[in-house]
Amino acid sequence: MSGKPSLTRRLSWRLEALAYDCLSLILKLFPFAAISGFGGMLLRLIGPLTSKHAIARKGLTMAFPNKSEDEIKTLLRGQWENTGRTFAEFPIMHRVKAFADDDRVEVRGLEIFEVNKPAIFISGHFANWEVMATVLTQSGHPVRVTYRQINNPHIDKRVREQRERYGTKFLVQKAGVKSGRELFETLRNGESIAILNDQKFNGGLSVPFFGHEAMTAQGAVRLALKTNRPIVPMGVVRDGAKFIVTYYPPLELTKSGQREADLFAGVSQINRFMEDRVKEHPAQWFWVHRRWPKVHYR
């Protein structure tokens, strides 16, 4: 039996790609800040009408059980605005020049980057996470950014090409033996890798996140222990259509020789870093993702 997609699916993919192209063409006509603001306004209106709203609400109440209903509503509006801005900004990310003389992006902790490369850079879906990729790929140091393929192959091709326009040249799959081997070789050859380590990963370790067990990818810690490359956390904060990207000091991994215990300790550190960043700006995290087991969302 062939694994070829049905005609209906292929037509659907084509229509989705056409819509993406039309939107990208329209967005090119306007300034970055205007596009960002429009995206935020639009999703602030539409987002609460979608099924993702209940997912975001559940996540916020799990992470912040002591917040009032009004506080949760305010955070929900804020996270929809941030998500809308991020999606609207993506097709025009090639306009962002992280190290140019404009003030769109401020980079902090650059000295940490300089003394720790090559490294395993980890972060989460904060503010516009593509800005962090922009900073890394425009730094002049080779960095491979992990990448999960989009189901629609036509949009996936466009997204890859879009990322290459602002400097991302190496995109590898996030899972699988081949990917792990490629990342290992990358580090051994003196290049860095970047991983978004804050979403559910069924093949990972069950580690507390905001006090609830959450399946978390252990690949970054496994690679760090094997290669002795540092894990350098990164964060990004949004101020309208401007951003602050920060490099944080490397994680201090436990190297007791007890492999499973060391892995758990390292992944726990990653989750604590993610928690701290979310607590600082709770409306700027990607709450529409089911971070915890499905049973919590029923």
Residue 94, token pair as written in the block = 């090639």
Give the pLDDT band (50/70/90) at residue 256: very high
Query: Model confidence over 59-82: pLDDT tens digits?
Result: 999 999 999 999 999 999 999 999
Q: Indicate the range of 35-49, 92-106, 261-275 predicted with least confidence.
A: 92-106
Residue 77, token pair as written in the block = 């509006």
Structural domain harbouring 67 = 7-297
Q: Is residue 223 part of a domain?
A: yes
Q: Is residue 1 part of a domain?
A: no
Q: Is residue 282 part of a domain?
A: yes
Q: Angle formed by the axes of helices 177-188 and 219-227, to 10°?
A: 40
Which residues have CB under 8 Å from 127's CB, separation 6+?
82, 86, 236, 237, 238, 243, 281, 284
Q: Is residue 214 part of a domain?
A: yes
Query: Model confidence over 140-150: pLDDT tens digits?
Result: 898 988 877 78
- Report the C-alpha gap between 141 and 61 in whole angstroms: 40
Cis peptide bond prior to 250, omega within 30° of 0: no
Q: Is residue 231 part of a domain?
A: yes
Q: Is residue 16 part of a domain?
A: yes
Q: Is residue 200 part of a domain?
A: yes
Asked whether 128 and 234 are in contact (CB, 8 A), the reply is no
Q: Is residue 76 part of a domain?
A: yes
Residue 162 has pLDDT above 90, yes or no: no
Give the pLDDT band (50/70/90) at residue 100: confident
CA dihedral 237→243→245→246, nearest 10 degrees, is -50
List of E strands, 133-290: 143-147, 171-173, 192-196, 200-209, 212-216, 231-239, 242-247
Residue 83 has pLDDT above 60, yes or no: yes
39 or 170, greater pLDDT:
39
- Report the C-alpha gap between 238 and 127 in whole angstroms: 5
Domain count, the chain: 1
Q: Supply the pLDDT for residue 169.
A: 62
* Section 182-197 average pLDDT: 91
Residue 165 has pLDDT above 80, yes or no: no
Residue 175 has pLDDT above 70, yes or no: no
Residue 51 has pLDDT above 80, yes or no: yes
Q: Supply the pLDDT for residue 1.
A: 43
Nearest alpha-carbon partner for 137 in 115, 121, 148 = 121
Residue 160 has pLDDT above 60, yes or no: yes
- Report the C-alpha gap between 220 and 192 in whole angstroms: 12
